[in-house]
Amino acid sequence: MMTLGPFNVANDGTLSPRAPGIRPVVRYTWRGRACAAELTQAGLRMTALAGRIPSTVELHADRRAVVSALTRLRDELPPGLSLHLLPDHRLLLRRHGQWRSPGTPLAALALVTEMVGFALALDPYLDQLEEAGAGAVRQFEMMRG
C-alpha cells in the first residue's frame, strides 16, 4: 500500500481515506493556477483558481475587459462547468459531477485521469482570461467551497 495525498492506494489501485477527518482532496497546479480534485458525496469536484479581476490601483489594468470576458465565458461554458467570482475578485472554474456509479470505489488511475482531463479542458478558458487581463493568482491558495 502507498499514499496519494489524503488517500491510501491499495494494490488494486482503489483509494480510501488515509485517516478519519482528512478532507479527500488532491491539490495540483496547471499553468500556474491552483487546482484541486475533491471527492464529495455527490461525486468528484474539480476546481481551479483561473485568475482574478485586476485591482483599481494596478496601472494599465483594464477591468472592463476582464468583466466583459467573464460575461462571454459564462455563456460559452459547457454544462457541468461553472465560473464563479469570489469576494476577493479571484475567478474560480468548477466542475462538479457524478462520474462513477454510487458505491464504486475510486481508483487512483481514474482520479489522475480526471485531473489531467480537467486541466486540459481549462486551456481555452485560461487563454481567454489571460487575453482579457485576468492573470493568474500569485499565491498558492486553495478554496474551500
Radius of gyration over alpha carbons of the chain, in Å? 17
The residues facing 83 across adjacent strands are 93
Q: Which residues contact 58 (CB under 8 A, 6 or more apart)?
A: none
Residue 32 within a domain = yes
| Digit-coded pLDDT (tens) for 34-54 | 999 988 777 789 999 998 887
Examine residue 1 and state whether it is found in any structural domain, yes or no.
no
Give pTM, 2 decimals. 0.80
In a domain, 81, yes or no: yes
The Cα–Cα gap between 122 and 124 comes to 6
Number of domains in the chain: 1
37 assigned to some structural domain: yes
Q: Domain of 120?
A: 25-132
In a domain, 143, yes or no: no
Residue range 129-145, pLDDT digits in tens: 988 888 776 544 444 44
- Residue-wise pLDDT for 48-81, tens only, equals 999 888 777 666 667 788 888 888 988 899 988 9
- Tens-digit pLDDT profile for residues 69-123: 888 988 899 988 999 999 988 999 999 765 555 567 778 888 888 899 999 999 9
Contact 133, 66 (CB under 8 A): yes
* pLDDT for 100: 57
What's the CATH code of the domain at 90? 3.30.1460.10
